[in-house]
Amino acid sequence: MFSYSQKLKSSQLIQPIFIEEGLKSPKIIKGLGQNYSHTLKSAKKMIESDLKRGVKNFIFFIVPKKKQSRPQNFDFHYKSLSNIKKKFGKRIIMIVDTCLCSITTDGHCGITHHNKINLKETHKSLGLAALTFINAGADIIAPSDMMKGTTKYLKSLFNKKKINTPIMSYSTKFFSSFYGPFRNAAKSSPKKFDRSSYQLPVNDRKKALQSSITNAKQGASFLMVKPGITSIDLIRDIKNKTKLPTGAYQVSGEYASLQYLSKHKLGDFKKLYKESLTAIHRAGANFIITYGARDIAKNL
């Protein structure tokens, strides 16, 4: 899965899908072109359309209405994911973003206590979330929390449960200013303090490489850099050091920048977009999570 080829292929692209509880109709995500926060019904309709366009890999972001200080109830996640997997089965690869930011009351990726992360409680919630997603039909679990030891914790939990579901770790994820449109869609803007205590500093290359190496040792099957375009210098080194498939997330701010240039007649979107993906692929990415997978898949 996600093998590298000399030419970028549609099978290497992953399309994000947002499902938000409480919506009566799809809601446009500002800055992200034809990406919407979906109802379950509209999400299924969108996926059907995407399959016809040549997209089969999807990463799901589930946004529940009720927030929790210590997340334990993932019923809306289960309902949404199981419904979709039941409809599409093996026609799609269901990757599920595994984080707490869209369900916690303060928008942080972990459970907080006195402006600090409670790692033990965070791992418990992430483990419960991951098992829920797997029971709902997830093909791949993608922890994006950037907490210390998450991959190790999940791998140990899976082994105890005799679960073979692969882990796609957000293994090198920077404390970045390019996440704005996503946070609006996921309702995950952090409160009280920022995420610099658990996301990586942009200027520390050594720490960035080590983070992926550590996640590889802890049991990840796939690794990832995020943001994509600003991290392309790391991809090949990570692959060489870990021997694992490594991809990139072209994040919402990066994609929105291309949309902005096109909207203001400062560039042709199709050309801008294809060039950006080509650069990420040229850097060695085995897969690319990108908001325009559906728009380019048939042209690859």
The catalytic position among 44, 56, 226, 239 is 226
> How much is the pLDDT for 243?
98
Report the Cα 153 to chain-centroid distance in Å: 19
Q: Where are the domains of the chain?
A: 10-299
Residue 291 binned pLDDT confidence (cut-offs 50, 70, 90)? very high
> How much is the pLDDT for 141?
98
What are 238-280's pLDDT values in tens digits?
999 999 999 999 999 999 999 999 999 999 999 999 999 999 9
Average pLDDT score, the chain? 95
What are 96-114's pLDDT values in tens digits?
999 999 999 988 998 998 8
Dihedral sign computed on CA atoms, order 89, 47, 13, 61? negative
From residue 289, how far is each of 67, 175, 229, 236 by CA, in Å? 27, 18, 12, 17
> How much is the pLDDT for 186?
83
Following DSSP, what letter does each residue of 47-110 receive, concatenated?
Answer: HHHHHHTT--EEEEEEE-SS-BSS----HHHHHHHHHHHHHHGGGSEEEEEE-STTTBTT--SS
* Nearest alpha carbon to residue 118 among 13, 197, 25: 197
| Contact yes or no for 62/81 (Cβ under 8 A) | yes
> How much is the pLDDT for 48?
98
Give CA–CA dist 150/153, Å, rounded: 5
Is 226 in the active site?
Answer: yes
State the average pLDDT over residues 32-39.
95
Residue 201 is classified by DSSP as P
Is 24 in the active site?
Answer: no
Residue 195 is classified by DSSP as S
What is the C-alpha end-to-end distance of the chain, expressed in Å?
A: 18
Task: Enumerate helices (H) and strands (E) in the chain, giving the number of each.
Answer: 10, 12
Q: How many CA atoms lie within 13 A of 265 on its CB side?
A: 0
What are 166-222's pLDDT values in tens digits?
999 999 999 999 998 888 888 778 888 888 888 999 999 999 999 999 999 999 999
The catalytic position among 173, 270, 274, 298 is 173
State the average pLDDT over residues 154-163.
98
Token pair in block for residue 220:
């990840």
Architecture of domain 10-299: Alpha-Beta Barrel (3.20)
Instruction: With a cut of 90, say whether residue 282 has pLDDT above it.
Output: yes
What pTM, to 2 d.p., does this model score? 0.96
Instruction: With a cut of 80, say whether residue 148 has pLDDT above it.
Output: yes
> How much is the pLDDT for 190?
82
Instruction: With a cut of 90, say whether residue 230 has pLDDT above it.
Output: yes
Give CA–CA dist 300/283, Å, rounded: 18
Residues 6+ apart with CB under 8 A from 19: 37, 38, 39, 40, 43, 60, 61, 62, 63, 80
| Contact yes or no for 222/168 (Cβ under 8 A) | yes
Dihedral sign computed on CA atoms, order 105, 107, 109, 115? negative
Give CA–CA dist 261/241, Å, rounded: 37
